Amino acid sequence: MLLTLGQAAKLAGKGKTTLTRAIQAGRLSATRLEDGSYRIDPAELCRVYDVRAATPETVTRDSHVVHHETPHATPRRDPESVARLVELETENRMLRELLAEVRESRDDMRAERDDWRARSERLLTDQRPKGRPTSTSAPRPPAAPSEPRSGDVVETSIQSGMAEIRRHLENLRAKAGH
């Protein structure tokens, strides 16, 4: 059973003009009828185009195409796209490793900061034995405004670095089509 140009175009997911050009260029074999129309063998259509549904069962005896759900096909990728994808995956893996290192470093710095904070609090608390009177000397002047603590600066630096890594990962995902 042969297909009309329109039926073949529907099965191949191409336009009739595309199939006509393929026939004229010799890439697709077809029979030309007296009225100028073409008839295409489903096997020939499958040879040229990746058509999974173009089997004799898809065409009824009166030459009408029976539509079936198209299976999910894996998109064809050219070597450049594959190379770029591998490059992006490698970069993504490296960024994940770097992110893990930054997080580990951040956690270490937080632990060290907390340790220093605890030590300083112990030193600043009143270590005098209870029951001893405190001095009644003149009140102390107000303390000068404190500068940012080194732990706060490090934490702010880590947070800005993490934000930059997140932006970079989002860009990679967008480029990779995720």
pLDDT at 40 over 50: yes
Residues 6 or more apart whose CB falls under 8 angstroms from that of 16 comprise 5, 6, 9
Overall average pLDDT of the 59-64 stretch: 52
pLDDT at 35 over 90: yes
Distances (CA, A) of 7 to 1, 22, 38, 55: 12, 15, 11, 12
Instruction: Read off the pTM.
Output: 0.32
